[in-house]
Amino acid sequence: MVLRSSNIRPDMARLWSSLMRSAEIGRTAKGGLKRLALSEEDGEVRREFVRWCEEAGCTVQVDGIGNIFATRPGSDPDAKAVLVGSHLDTQIKGGRFDGILGVLAGLELVRTLNDHDLTTRRPIVIVDWTNEEGARFEPPMIGSATFTGQKSLDFAYARADKDGVTLGQALDRIGFKGADRLSPDTFDSLFELHIEQGPKLDEAKRQVGIVTGAFSVRGLIVEVRGEVGHVGPTPMPKRKNAIVGAARVTLAIDDIGWSRHETGGKSTTMRLKVEPNLLGILPDLVEMTCDFRHPEAAVASGMLAAFEAAIPEIERRSGCKVTIKEQWSYGGMEYDPGCIALTRDAAEDLGYSTMDLLTEAGHDAMHVADYLPTAMIFTPCEGGLSHNEAENVTLADIEPGVNVLLRSVLNRAGIA
């Protein structure tokens, strides 16, 4: 049965009240959220989420990395489940909706099915992925990467925050180191609803983003090695100031982004670690975290190649040694055509305006997409502002996306 003319609608006031309850847990003075992965606040919102899921009749399982899976059974005991969710952790100065909307919309979906006493053929599983943001433990999206087997549990447990607390210890502290083993094989598909985190939907006044795939990302750690010396007497020709080398690297990377920006290219230097970082001393080491992003994988690789080609000149001008110490890449995939079609049909049936988009940020759905049919749905967010305490949406902004999620998932899961 396909839900074309159904009038099943989520209770948006109830969803909003859950979102606002979440917004109290880790609230910052400026009205955003600081709810780092596996912090006390993350523990609190997780307990609240588990309570809500159990009240809605779900069975809750927690896997070794602390991903929470809340299952509403289906009628067919052999049918694999449809996953719906996102993440409840936030950035250090994060907003109230990034990730949280996707998890709580999954909860609202289950509550709505309960209201109508409807059973789906496939089970529906709401998921909260651990440490999506990577603001406390690196790399980001480690919960989904452990779920898919791209990262091992041992690797994940050993990640340490800036105070030396490991991810494994943090899981123990908040009581979310589970023993359940769940793997992608257990599931049929994944749907993730998320705020866009960019301005396209808001500017074009479109109600729903149909996410067809993801930008290609090439990340790198660049090491710039110079030589310590006194900032006074050391003559200019003899200096090997690692900050000067890092500045030239930063400008080269920025230029590469600008030279591809008309086709969607972006480049960023986002973090510098400087040593010894002291008054009066020429620094001898800067470690830089940078990335290149582009809709086309070949162009993203070309941006990286352009940077490699620029290194000899940067070395000549700065007197420093520039090395790419680490590299990684992700994204560049397309979401599942069948799942995308369900989101597109749902938006069309409901009469919403849409825009096809690629995601430019990282999401757990990108990891899962290599293993399960996956789709993402974007809602507009005010001015495209995200990873910011002022991140904002209205109920009217999210209602279309929540409805599209509900209908797509029900059509995938089937009504018994």
Q: Which is nearer to Zn ion, 15 or 135 (CB)?
A: 135
Distances from the Cα of 86 to the Cα of 103, 143, 181, 357, angstroms = 5, 11, 19, 18
Nearest residue relative to Zn ion (C-beta)? 99
- Determine the 3-state secondary structure of 327 from DSSP: strand
Q: Does 184 bind Zn ion (CB under 5 A)?
A: no
For the chain, how far is it from start to end, CA to CA, in angstroms? 8
Residue 140: CB minimum distance to Zn ion, A: 9
- Residue in 32, 127, 62 with CA at minimum distance from that of residue 388: 32
Task: Return the range that interacts with Zn ion (CB under 5 A); candidates 62-70, 96-104, 144-152, 406-414.
Answer: 96-104
Instruction: Kindly state whether residue 98 participates in binding Zn ion, applying the rule CB under 5 A.
Output: yes
CB 3 within 8 A of CB 410: yes
Q: Rounded CA gap, 416 and 413, in Å?
A: 9
100 vs 282, beta carbon nearer Zn ion: 100
Min dist CB 391 to Zn ion, Å, is 10
CA distance to 59, 90, 103, 137, 173, per residue, from 65 (Å)? 18, 17, 17, 12, 13
Cβ atoms of residues 410 and 14 within 8 Å: no
Query: Could you give the 3-state DSSP secondary structure of residue 309?
Result: helix
Closest separation in Å from C-beta 87 to Zn ion = 6
135 or 242: whose CB is closer to Zn ion? 135
Residue 64 touches Zn ion, criterion: CB under 5 A: no
Our measurement of the distance from residue 107's CA atom to the centroid of its chain's CA atoms, rounded to an integer in Å, reads: 19
Q: How far is the CB of 366 from Zn ion (least distance, A)?
A: 11
Question: Which span sits near Zn ion by CB under 5 A: 32-40, 99-107, 212-220, 228-236?
Answer: 99-107
Structure tokens at 19: 């979102």
Nearer to Zn ion, 74 or 331 (CB): 331
Measured from the CB atom, the residue of 99 and 265 that comes closer to Zn ion is: 99
Nearer to Zn ion, 98 or 284 (CB): 98
CB of 46 to Zn ion, least distance (A): 16
Residues 364, 192 contacting (CB under 8 angstroms)? yes
* 345: three-class secondary structure by DSSP: helix
| Contact region with Zn ion (CB under 5 A), list: 98-106, 214-222, 289-297, 400-408 | 98-106
Which part of the chain contacts Zn ion (CB under 5 A), choosing from 91-99, 226-234, 266-274, 312-320? 91-99
Q: How far is the CB of 91 from Zn ion (least distance, A)?
A: 9
Q: With respect to Zn ion, which residue has the nearer C-beta, 98 or 389? A: 98
CA-wise closest residue to 72 among 413, 369, 408? 413
Give the three-class secondary structure for 333.
Answer: coil
Q: Which helix (H) or strand (E) holds 111?
A: helix 100-115
Q: Minimum CB separation from Zn ion for residue 369, in Å?
A: 15
Whether 283 and 275 have beta carbons less than 8 Å apart is answered as: yes
Taking CB under 5 A as the criterion, the residue among 99, 106, 168, 213 binding Zn ion is: 99
Residue 98 CB, shortest distance to Zn ion, in Å, is 4
Which tokens belong to 213? 């795939």
Q: Please identify, using beta-carbon distances, which residue of 99 and 209 lies nearer to Zn ion.
A: 99
- Nearer to Zn ion among residue 148 and residue 186 (C-beta): 148
Residue 90 C-beta: closest distance to Zn ion, Å: 8
Residues 6+ apart with CB under 8 A from 183: 147, 148, 149
Provide the binding-site residues for Zn ion, judged by CB under 5 A. Answer: 98-99
